[in-house]
Amino acid sequence: MIEAPFLLYLGHSTDPVGIKTSRGLAEFRRQDCVGEFRHDDCPLTLDLPRMSMTEGAAAGAKTLVLGIANPGGTMDPELIEDASDALRAGMHVVSGLHERLRDVPELVAMASALGLQLIDVRDPPADLPVGTGRPRAGRRVLTVGTDCSVGKMYAALALTEGLRARGEAADFRATGQTGILVAGGGVPLDAVVADFISGAIELLTPAREDEGWDVIEGQGSLFHPSFAGVSTGLLHGAQAEALVLCHDPARLQMRGLPERRLPGLAECLAANLQVARLTSPGVRAAGACLNTSSFAEDEARALCAKTAHLLGLPCTDPHRFGVEAIIDNLLCPERSAPATIASR
Amino acid sequence: MIEAPFLLYLGHSTDPVGIKTSRGLAEFRRQDCVGEFRHDDCPLTLDLPRMSMTEGAAAGAKTLVLGIANPGGTMDPELIEDASDALRAGMHVVSGLHERLRDVPELVAMASALGLQLIDVRDPPADLPVGTGRPRAGRRVLTVGTDCSVGKMYAALALTEGLRARGEAADFRATGQTGILVAGGGVPLDAVVADFISGAIELLTPAREDEGWDVIEGQGSLFHPSFAGVSTGLLHGAQAEALVLCHDPARLQMRGLPERRLPGLAECLAANLQVARLTSPGVRAAGACLNTSSFAEDEARALCAKTAHLLGLPCTDPHRFGVEAIIDNLLCPERSAPATIASR
């Protein structure tokens, strides 16, 4: 549906978390990314060649990915101007923002005139069902978090790869715009109408009889007052047998809410298990994933060890240390040594 | 916005709970209801004169209210045919279903030709903000429930009237289609996009400095796997100082899910208080409301007494016994006798 290769948009972003969609593609589909577009005031980079729109198109990019996020997901005039430039250079434009490309008449007219596509990955499927919470076959694991943007997608992708490496059938189930772009499909959960949150997840992860796994990307946090409704419906729809808790130890305040501290990890895990039990009475915690990118390696190992001890669960940074200990626990909980840290 | 008086639609409904929007208008705006429209197979009545569409219009009805609810909110061909008949008879048509009147081309064409309005009360406001959970001024009380359709709107309306009767400034804040029709405004929360659930409630109940109350209509239940995401966002957006738990003691299974039992009342209240504390750390329970319409009066009194004892809170059926004990507790918690049952 979305034509590769991509030119990744960073725009004027100054917040590393705000470019997570572009970063996700750079990380998980790097072979499909020819370069990055950023303005002079953008101090961030994905270590891809910096290109103008015309340079990107000349280098073979078929699609500009507006891979930035901002609270509310608005599309400001500068973003629209940049999207226009991408169209003029001959690229399709794909966006994961709440405000839709198709609602900007000048872009619609230009894309139509040039025979190019505007793709809003945040458009949810039509005719979503209401969730039922009825038991269904299949093994499902869901990543949950202390906050937004703490590595839930990354952990889910790493767990999917880890399960496959063990010979298990496993599918990553995307619930956000970045994951959808990486996976090529999914449900943009935060754009679903409130009555259908859990139903959308039941649709995304239907019963499966092949003994394989659905690894479901979590969203938001039960402790984030903006988005906990989404997280709650996701927990109920997922009907997961196991949760993996994701956390960024460098994060001191909830994303977008500087006055609000993060919850404790044990408290957060307990609350998630409590909510999950409504549709999955036997749900258990399988491990924790930390994003330790702000820490030196010895500090990162110490943080994982401390968290493993605190929670009595395997804890790792999936990027640095892999997810083997969590996979062990998922596949064979009784044989897993709770406090082991994975290492490559 | 919606022109009275009304003809209330019951259609082919056989489930008393399914006609709650029509019933809400019949109860709370009876002076504005000229009659009810029902087919021969509908065994229900609101004790209004039964009228055809033309009889309703002749009796002065300006608007047909499609006041029925069904899981998923679909608009079937018979409903569309009945709406067409209402237009032909000269009435506007208002609907609270998920599927929109404006998405039925034949109705749109007919209404336009006849100069009549089609009104979808489930259209949420544009440009909703993301919730913040930041403390704001004002006194807010929220009704919560063990299930959907257990009397949360009724209780909120009764509490609003009760507070006003004591000389307090109080406003009913509607979050569902019935409440919106009764109040003439509000936010249809179940139709809001998931990311904006708590933000919509913050918008509906902004800071107020007049010492008055916002009495907020609850939705769904934390224990209903279809809709708990809505309930969670509502709890966080409401930032209520007090919750009132609503329950139907005749309800044995969760609405729409016959295999699922209702939660215990104490468990349900504790879970609601826990979720509410994220944005309102001092939140407390102010009472419980039972819908005892299936029980004789002595049984109803016994049920209220038993529940009051169980929860250590005033418990009443607002319809039968008023809400005085809960108002006492709201206004003066330290002076309230916990196990008192209100009586008129």
- B221-269 residue pLDDT tens: 999 999 999 999 999 999 999 999 999 999 999 999 999 999 999 999 9
Provide the residue type at B189 as one letter.
L
* Selection from B113, B210, B109, B213 nearest residue B171 by Cα: B213
Residues of B whose CB is below 8 A from A233: 194, 228-230
Structural domains of chain B sorted by starting position, each given as residue range(s) with its CATH number in brackets: 6-120 (3.40.50.720), 139-335 (3.40.50.300)
Cα end-to-end span (Å), chain B? 35
CB contact under 8 A, B236 and A257: no
For residue B165, the tally of other CB atoms under 10 A from its CB is 13
Q: List, edge to edge, every strand of the sheet that includes A6-11.
A: A33-38, A6-11, A63-66, A92-95, A118-120
Which of A103, A221, A232, A279 best probes binding to B when mutated, by most B CB atoms within 10 angstroms? A232
> Residue B75 has what pLDDT?
84
Q: What is the DSSP letter of B176?
A: S
CB contact under 8 A, B133 and A256: no
Residue B339 has pLDDT above 50, yes or no: no
Residue A18 has pLDDT above 90, yes or no: no
- B341 falls in which pLDDT band (50, 70, 90)? very low
For residue A52, which phi and psi values (nearest 5 degrees)? -75, 175
Q: For the packed helices B228-238 and A197-204, what is the interaxial angle rounded to 10 degrees?
A: 140
Q: What is the DSSP letter of B165?
A: H
Closest CB to A192 among B194, B237, B275:
B194
Residues of B whose CB is below 8 A from A130: 71-72, 226-227, 256
Q: Which residue of B has its CA nearest to A219?
A: B195
- From B337's Cα to the closest Cα of chain A, the distance in A is 32
- From B51's Cα to the closest Cα of chain A, the distance in A is 33
- Contact status, residue A62 vs residue A12, Cβ threshold 8 Å: no
Residues of A whose CB is below 8 A from B194: 189-194, 197, 229-230, 233
Residues of A whose CB is below 8 A from B73: 195
> Residue A336 has what pLDDT?
58
- B336 falls in which pLDDT band (50, 70, 90)? low
pLDDT tens for A296-306 read: 999 999 999 99
pLDDT tens for A60-89 read: 999 999 999 876 677 889 999 999 999 999
For residue B75, which phi and psi values (nearest 5 degrees)? -115, 100
Give SS3 for A229. helix
- B184 falls in which pLDDT band (50, 70, 90)? confident
Q: What is the DSSP letter of B33?
A: E
Residue B1 has pLDDT above 80, yes or no: no
- From A106's Cα to the closest Cα of chain B, the distance in A is 20
For residue A49, which phi and psi values (nearest 5 degrees)? -60, 135
Closest CB to B230 among A222, A229, A274:
A229
d(CA A77, CA A44): 21
Which of B97, B190, B231, B232 best probes binding to A when mutated, by most A CB atoms within 10 angstroms? B232
Extract long-range pairs of B333-337: CB within 8 Å, 24+ residues apart.
B333/B284, B333/B286
Q: Which whole number is the average pLDDT over B303-307?
A: 98
- From B125's Cα to the closest Cα of chain A, the distance in A is 13
Q: Is A227 exposed, middle or buried (CB count within 10 Å of its CB: 0-12, 13-18, 19+)?
A: buried
Out of A189-198, B311-320, B334-343, which region has the weakest mean confidence (pLDDT)?
Answer: B334-343
**CA-atom Rg of chain B in angstroms:** 20
Closest CB to B257 among A129, A132, A274:
A132
B173 forms bridges with which residues in the sheet?
B216
> Residue B314 has what pLDDT?
98
Closest CB to A191 among B133, B193, B230:
B193
For residue A259, which phi and psi values (nearest 5 degrees)? -85, -5
Q: Are strands B257-261 and B253-254 parallel, antiparallel or unpaired?
A: antiparallel
- Contact status, residue B254 vs residue B260, Cβ threshold 8 Å: yes
d(CA A142, CA A218): 6
Q: What is the DSSP letter of B167?
A: T
> Residue B279 has what pLDDT?
98
pTM of the model: 0.87
Q: CA dist B54 to A55, B43, B63, B78, Å?
A: 68, 21, 12, 17
- Contact status, residue B247 vs residue B292, Cβ threshold 8 Å: no
Q: Which residue of A has its CA nearest to B188?
A: A194
Residue B110 has pLDDT above 90, yes or no: yes
- Contact status, residue B215 vs residue B170, Cβ threshold 8 Å: yes
d(CA A335, CA A315): 16
Residues of B whose CB is below 8 A from A71: 130
Q: Which residue of B has its CA nearest to A73?
A: B130
Residues of B whose CB is below 8 A from A97: none
Q: Which whole number is the average pLDDT over A274-289?
A: 98
- From B314's Cα to the closest Cα of chain A, the distance in A is 28
d(CA B240, CA B143): 10
3-state helix, strand, coil in chain B (%, to 5): 40, 20, 45
**CA-atom Rg of chain A in angstroms:** 20
Out of A25-39, A198-212, A221-235, B177-191, which region has the weakest mean confidence (pLDDT)?
Answer: B177-191
Q: Dig out the tokens for A73 from the structure.
A: 């997901």
CB contact under 8 A, B130 and A71: yes
Q: Dig out the tokens for A174 from the structure.
A: 């995307």
To which H or E segment does residue A259 belong? Answer: strand A257-261
Provide the residue type at B77 as one letter.
P
Residue A179 has pLDDT above 50, yes or no: yes
Q: Dig out the tokens for A23 from the structure.
A: 């970063």
Q: Which whole number is the average pLDDT over B21-50?
A: 95
- A342 falls in which pLDDT band (50, 70, 90)? very low
CB contact under 8 A, B275 and A228: yes
> Residue B343 has what pLDDT?
39
d(CA A49, CA B54): 71
CB contact under 8 A, A198 and B226: yes
d(CA B63, CA B181): 12
> Residue B72 has what pLDDT?
64
* Selection from B66, B64, B51, B68 nearest residue B15 by Cα: B68
Residue A341 has pLDDT above 60, yes or no: no
> Residue B96 has what pLDDT?
83
Q: Which residue of B has its CA nearest to A123?
A: B193
Residues of B whose CB is below 8 A from A225: 131-133, 198, 236-237, 278-279
For residue B234, which phi and psi values (nearest 5 degrees)? -65, -45
Percent of chain B topping pLDDT 90: 85
Q: Which residue of A has its CA nearest to B226?
A: A131
Note the helical H segments in A176-317: 177-183, 197-204, 228-238, 265-276, 297-311
Average per-residue pLDDT in chain A? 94
pLDDT tens for B49-106 read: 999 999 999 999 999 999 998 766 778 899 999 999 999 999 999 998 878 999 999 9
Q: CA dist A70 to A96, A98, A265, Å?
A: 10, 9, 26
Q: Which residue of A has its CA nearest to B195?
A: A190
> Residue A340 has what pLDDT?
45
Provide the residue type at B172 as one letter.
F
Provide the residue type at B188 as one letter.
P
